[in-house]
């Protein structure tokens, strides 16, 4: 598993370098999102995780293009994440970077634990003050990071950015730009407030985007999907294109009977619960909504609205189950790695081996041009990077032991160029795993 994770990270980094080189600078222009639920990604490729889902009709500021993607400046109200160990707390509304940081594009699916792409290049220097929108906590209630407002120039040397496919954007008209700038004008003073966070009237408990959004309502980014770190975001129930736009009162289910009103109230209450409690409630809510839907046959509008609730619940259940499976697999891998490490250490002590590790082949010291030597690697590699402990120079082939954990006794010498021990073995034993 660790090799797969390391390979995936290397693959993504290679894509990142190649894609970044294809993005060319352009004069900033306004573009309009043409499709609902358009992914805003953390990097210029479909392999990067989703930061937010943009609604059709939203205006965005584009300052780069290439590789089929547009580079978009973070709209006002969009947040980034920063781990708790990269900042010091100033007060309830602000933190200060203790070291250079590019901040992190928030993963819509996994929260802070799945957020690793930087939103700033170059990174922000140590000492930069950040406005806090929300403290991110783990299941134990410990603060592990913060959702913050990315500062803008001149505080930062560049804008925070995400990426959107070019085929999901079109040129904005003059009227659309004028309407957008007219709505956005009252919130422009946000830029200097990033330097004086205490004076900025920021609501710390919600992720509502400010009023500078254009035609549509705020996108999904500030409202998070359910993770072990955050509260879930509000579901989106789009009306069919042919229907008259709904008033705010119509966005809730048209529930008249008391039983339906109670069910809707339970749904709204569950969405405001912590992630762990919401996870427990999802299956029960789904069962009740499905039961109600089965009994609804003569009200097409109500049936459609119930279907929207059911689809939302199914999506959250699928996300929850995937998250749990990933967490269980990682926990199991960690436990197995620790157990194997303890077993190898006990075995080494009991047999007085000079070196215990996993035997792997060297592509350089393969016996063709240079002497044949095998690498001995650490039994576990929690960070995904294999660590070489030493080299084995046998008189005969040990290919049958490749991949096994072995214990070695023999004559050793320190190689100053490799900076590792090279052992000519007298005895090599395979440990039973």
Least confident range from 4-8, 114-118, 285-289: namely: 4-8
DSSP 348-380: HHHHT-SEEEEEEE-SSSSSSSS---EEEE-S-
pLDDT over 80 at 361, yes or no? yes
Supply 113's token pair: 């634990």
Q: Are strands 355-361 and 87-91 parallel, antiparallel or unpaired?
A: unpaired
Which residue is it, tokens 């496919």?
165
pLDDT over 70 at 427, yes or no? yes
pLDDT of residue 302: 81
pLDDT of residue 373: 92
pLDDT of residue 104: 94
Instruction: Name 300's Cβ contacts closer than 8 Å, sequence gap at least 6.
Output: none
**pLDDT band with cut points at 50, 70 and 90 for residue 277:** confident
- Rounded CA gap, 282 and 224, in Å? 16
Q: What is the DSSP letter of 395?
A: S
Residues 251-275 have pLDDT tens digits of: 444 433 436 777 777 888 887 878 7
pLDDT over 90 at 88, yes or no? yes
Supply 331's token pair: 């926990």
**R_g of the chain computed on alpha carbons:** 28
pLDDT over 90 at 31, yes or no? yes
Torsion sign across C-alpha atoms 329, 332, 334, 336: negative
Maximum Cα–Cα distance across the chain: 86
pLDDT of residue 75: 94
Which residue is it, tokens 């000519």?
424
Q: Which residue has the higher pLDDT, 87 or 382?
A: 87
Torsion sign across C-alpha atoms 229, 231, 232, 234: negative
Least confident range from 44-58, 121-135, 202-216, 219-233: namely: 202-216
Answer for the pair 28, 12: CB distance below 8 angstroms, yes or no: no
Task: Enumerate domains of the chain plus CATH numbers.
Answer: 2-199 (no CATH), 248-328 (no CATH), 352-430 (2.40.50)
> How many C-beta neighbours within 10 Å does residue 131 have?
24
- Rounded CA gap, 422 and 85, in Å? 39
412 exposure class (CB count in 10 Å sphere: 0-12, 13-18, 19+): middle
Residues 136-195 have pLDDT tens digits of: 988 788 999 999 999 999 999 999 999 999 999 999 999 999 998 886 444 433 433 444
- Rounded CA gap, 66 and 45, in Å? 10
Instruction: Name 33's Cβ contacts closer than 8 Å, sequence gap at least 6.
Output: 54, 55, 56, 57, 58, 59, 60, 164, 168, 169
340 exposure class (CB count in 10 Å sphere: 0-12, 13-18, 19+): middle
Average pLDDT, the chain: 77
Of 83, 173, 99, nearest to 135 by C-alpha is 83
Cα separations in angstroms, 277 against 227, 235, 280, 327: 11, 17, 5, 17
Q: Which residue has the higher pLDDT, 202 or 426?
A: 426
Q: What angle do CA 406, 409, 412 make, to 5 degrees?
A: 115
Answer for the pair 359, 402: CB distance below 8 angstroms, yes or no: yes
Sheet holding 50-54, edge to edge: 50-54, 38-41, 161-165, 69-73, 59-66, 24-33, 169-171
**pLDDT band with cut points at 50, 70 and 90 for residue 375:** very high
pLDDT of residue 360: 92
Q: What is the DSSP letter of 111?
A: B
Q: Reduced to 3 states, what is the DSSP secondary structure of residue 159?
A: coil
């Amino acid at each position: 598993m660790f090799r797969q994770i390391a390979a995936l990270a290397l693959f993504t980094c290679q894509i990142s370098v190649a894609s970044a080189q294809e993005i060319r600078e352009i004069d900033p222009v306004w573009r309009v999102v043409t499709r609902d639920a358009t992914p805003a990604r953390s990097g210029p490729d479909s392999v990067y995780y989703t930061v937010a889902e943009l609604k059709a009709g939203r205006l965005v500021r584009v300052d780069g293009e290439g590789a089929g993607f547009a580079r978009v400046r973070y709209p006002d109200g969009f947040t980034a994440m920063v781990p708790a160990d990269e900042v010091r707390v100033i007060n309830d509304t602000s933190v200060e970077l203790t070291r250079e940081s590019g901040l992190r594009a928030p993963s819509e699916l996994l929260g802070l634990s799945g957020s690793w792409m930087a939103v700033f290049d170059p990174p922000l220097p140590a000492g930069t003050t950040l406005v806090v929108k929300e403290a991110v906590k783990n299941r134990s209630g410990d603060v592990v990071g913060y959702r913050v407002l990315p500062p803008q120039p001149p505080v930062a040397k560049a804008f925070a950015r995400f990426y959107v496919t070019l085929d999901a954007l079109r040129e904005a008209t003059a009227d659309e730009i004028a309407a957008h700038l007219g709505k956005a004008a009252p919130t422009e003073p946000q830029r200097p407030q990033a330097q004086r966070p205490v004076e900025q009237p920021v609501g710390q408990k919600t992720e509502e985007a400010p009023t500078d959004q254009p035609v549509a309502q705020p996108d999904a980014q500030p409202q998070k999907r359910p993770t072990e770190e955050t509260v879930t975001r509000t579901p989106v129930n789009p009306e069919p294109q042919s229907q008259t736009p709904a008033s705010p009162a119509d966005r809730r289910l048209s529930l008249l009977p008391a039983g339906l009103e109670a069910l809707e109230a339970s749904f709204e209450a569950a969405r405001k619960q912590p992630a762990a409690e919401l996870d427990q409630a999802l299956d029960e809510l789904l069962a009740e909504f499905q039961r109600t839907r089965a009994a609804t046959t003569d009200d097409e509008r109500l049936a459609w609205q119930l279907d929207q609730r059911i689809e939302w619940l199914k999506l959250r259940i699928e996300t929850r189950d995937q998250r749990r499976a990933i967490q269980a697999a990682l926990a199991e891998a960690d436990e197995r790695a620790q157990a194997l490490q303890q077993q190898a250490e006990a075995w080494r002590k009991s047999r007085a081996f000079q070196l215990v590790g996993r035997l792997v082949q060297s592509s350089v010291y393969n016996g063709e041009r240079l002497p044949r030597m095998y690498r001995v690697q650490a039994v576990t590699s929690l960070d995904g990077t294999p660590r070489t402990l030493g080299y084995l120079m046998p008189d005969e082939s040990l290919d049958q032991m490749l991949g096994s954990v072995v214990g070695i006794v023999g004559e050793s010498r320190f190689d100053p160029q490799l900076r590792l021990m090279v052992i000519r073995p007298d005895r090599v034993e395979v440990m039973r795993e």
